[in-house]
C-alpha cells in the first residue's frame, strides 16, 4: 500500500489518455479522497491555472505544437511560483530534459517507469527533494559534465567555505529564486526595494562565481545551501 503524501491539490496536463489515467491512479493512491483535474491541452490548463492554485502540476513535454510543454512550465512558474512542476515524457531526450529544467521544472519523470518508482519520486519531492527518474538523472549529469568541460559551468567553491562566505540575506535570496520567484516578487516578500534584492543577487553570484540564476541554483544545490 502506498503511503499518503500531503499534496493538497494537483493538476495533470497530459495528451496521452493512458498516461493521464495512470498518473491519476497513482495520485489517487498517494492522496486518497482528493480529486485531481486532468486536461489534455495547454488552453485547458491555462483556464484552470487562472482559476485555481495547485501544489503540484504534471506537464506532458510532448504537448503540441513542439515546445509547448516547456512554455507551459514557464507560465506556471510565473503565475504560481510555489507550485511543484513535474515534467513527463516517454523518453529521456536531451533537448526535452534541458528545456524542461530551463523552463523551471522541479522534476522529470518517464511515463514507462513502474508505479512504485513514480510514487517514490513524488514522496521525495514532497519532502524537499527532486522527483527525478534515475535515467533522467544520468542524462542531467552527462549534460553537466559536458558543460563543465566546455567551461559554461564554473567549478564549485570549496564546500566548507561557501556557507561562511554567503550572508544570511544572500542565502535567503538564493532559496527564493530556487522557488521560482522573480526579483520583484522577492522584494515584495521581504518588504525591501528591488535595488536591495539586486544588490544581494550580485553579491551571491560573485561569491558562487556564477553569472545567472540557473548557475546560482545549481551551485547552491551542490553545496547543500538550499535545504
Convert the pLDDT of each residue in 119-140 to its tens digit. Answer: 988 887 776 667 888 888 878 7
In a domain, 172, yes or no: yes
CATH of the domain at 169: 1.10.10.10
Which residues form the domain of 77?
10-148
- Say if residue 135 is in the same domain as residue 66: yes
Instruction: Report how far residue 38's alpha carbon sits from residue 99's, in angstroms, rounded to the nearest whole number.
Output: 23
**Highest-pLDDT range among 57-66, 136-145, 154-163:** 57-66
Residues 53-59: what's their mean pLDDT?
94
Same structural domain, 75 and 107: yes
For residue 219, which phi and psi values (nearest 5 degrees)? Answer: -65, -40
pLDDT in tens, 86-95: 999 998 888 8
Q: Are residues 124 and 22 in the same domain?
A: yes
Residue 38's φ and ψ, nearest 5 degrees, are -135, 130
Same-domain check for residues 69 and 170: no
Q: Using alpha carbons only, give the angle 168, 129, 53 rounded to the nearest 5 degrees.
A: 90
Decide if 20 is inside a domain.
yes
Least confident of 23-32, 135-144, 194-203: 135-144
Burial 174-184 (b: 16+ CB within 10 A, else e): bbbbbbbbbbe
Mean pLDDT in residue range 57-78: 92
CB atoms within 10 A of CB 105: 27
Question: Are residues 128 and 167 located together in one domain of the fold?
Answer: no
Same domain (yes/no): 117, 57: yes
Strands (E), 47-164: 56-60, 84-89, 107-110, 131-132
**Does the predicted model carry a pTM greater than 0.75?**
no
Tell me the pLDDT band of 197, cut-offs 50, 70 and 90: confident
**From CA 157, how far away is CA 87, in angstroms rounded?**
30
Ranges of H-type helices in 80-133: 94-103, 115-126
Q: What is the grid cell recorded at 19?
A: 498516461
Shared domain check, 105 and 58:
yes
Reported as a single tens digit per residue, the pLDDT across 156-178 is 444 444 544 788 888 888 888 77
Please give the Cα distance from 6 to 182 (Å, whole number).
Answer: 27
Beta strands in 7-83 (DSSP E): 10-13, 38-39, 56-60
The Cα 181–Cα 222 span in angstroms is: 20
In a domain, 5, yes or no: no
Q: Are 139 and 32 found together in one domain?
A: yes
Is 157 contained in some domain? no
Name which of 162, 169, 153, 163 is nearest 211 in CA terms.
Answer: 153
Same domain, 25 and 127: yes
Say how many domains are in the chain. 2
Amino acid at each position: 500500500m502506498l503511503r499518503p503524501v500531503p499534496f493538497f491539490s494537483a493538476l495533470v496536463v497530459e495528451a496521452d489518455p493512458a498516461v493521464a489515467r495512470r498518473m491519476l491512479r497513482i495520485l489517487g493512491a498517494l492522496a486518497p479522497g482528493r480529486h485531481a483535474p486532468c486536461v489534455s491541452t495547454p488552453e485547458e490548463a491555462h483556464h484552470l491555472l487562472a482559476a485555481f492554485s495547485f501544489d503540484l502540476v504534471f506537464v506532458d513535454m510532448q504537448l503540441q505544437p513542439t515546445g509547448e510543454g516547456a512554455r507551459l512550465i514557464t507560465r506556471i512558474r510565473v503565475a504560481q511560483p510555489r507550485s511543484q512542476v513535474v515534467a513527463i515524457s516517454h523518453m529521456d531526450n536531451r533537448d526535452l530534459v534541458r528545456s524542461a529544467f530551463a523552463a523551471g521544472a522541479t522534476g522529470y519523470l518517464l511515463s514507462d517507469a513502474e508505479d512504485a518508482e513514480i510514487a517514490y519520486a513524488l514522496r521525495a519531492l514532497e519532502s524537499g527533494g527532486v522527483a527525478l527518474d534515475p535515467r533522467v538523472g544520468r542524462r542531467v549529469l552527462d549534460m553537466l559534465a559536458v558543460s563543465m568541460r566546455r567551461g559554461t559551468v564554473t567549478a564549485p567553491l570549496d564546500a566548507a567555505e561557501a556557507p561562511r562566505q554567503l550572508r544570511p540575506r544572500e542565502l535567503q535570496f538564493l532559496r527564493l529564486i530556487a522557488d521560482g520567484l522573480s526579483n520583484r516578487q522577492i522584494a515584495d516578500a521581504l518588504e525591501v526595494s528591488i535595488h536591495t534584492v539586486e544588490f544581494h543577487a550580485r553579491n551571491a553570484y560573485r561569491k558562487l562565481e556564477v553569472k545567472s540564476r540557473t548557475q546560482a541554483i545549481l551551485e547552491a544545490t551542490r553545496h547543500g545551501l538550499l535545504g
